[in-house]
Structure 1
Amino acid sequence: MDTQAIKCIRKYIEDKYIGGGVVKVSDVSAYCGCSDGIILKGLVRLEELGEVKIEKRYSCPDFHYIRENEFPFCSECDQKYPEELINVYFYFKPLATVRM
């Protein structure tokens, strides 16, 4: 496990997270200077530790929000899309104050 990514995620939460809402994984990867995949791996570990909750959000090819309970149907387009055309965005919500 990449402990540097976990440390950087915790630092981001400490320095940048104002509270009340979710954080885009891409914002943290830019802050940490590494790929979204490395940050996601760190977030999975932090979720196991109860420090964060990872959330997925979806949009159709026209970038309309798709509700999880309607996936893969876009109500704005009134169309069901193949899963490979759906955009997936990863966010997380800090659950507890962490100490470095």
Structure 2
Amino acid sequence: MLDNSFQVLKEGISIASGATTSAAIALPTTSTGSNPLYVRVVAASGSVHIKFGKSDVAATANDLLITTTPQILKVAGLTHFAIIQRAATQTLNITAVEG
């Protein structure tokens, strides 16, 4: 049994990427309605670039690459994210995880 495992207690969001950066999108909240400390991100197929920040965040092709391998990332203190496609339009799923 893992004592340091995460739980998903609320549904996440899926967003399609485009050739230009998305508008800043609010991070999904936790089951208590607060901003998450961690999120799980995964591309449905292909890959996208993501950047976390505040309400004015914008993504570029030089930002963190997210693929079909799920990743858990720390986003404590951040409120929004933006994505941009790597090649063709992709879908990103992002979910708040709780410990």
* TM > 0.5: no
Question: Normalising to structure 2: TM-score of the pair?
Answer: 0.31
Larger Rg: 1
Q: Higher relative CO (CA 8 A, sep ≥ 6), structure 1 or 2?
A: 2
More helix by share: 1
More strand by share: 2
Question: Normalising to structure 1: TM-score of the pair?
Answer: 0.31
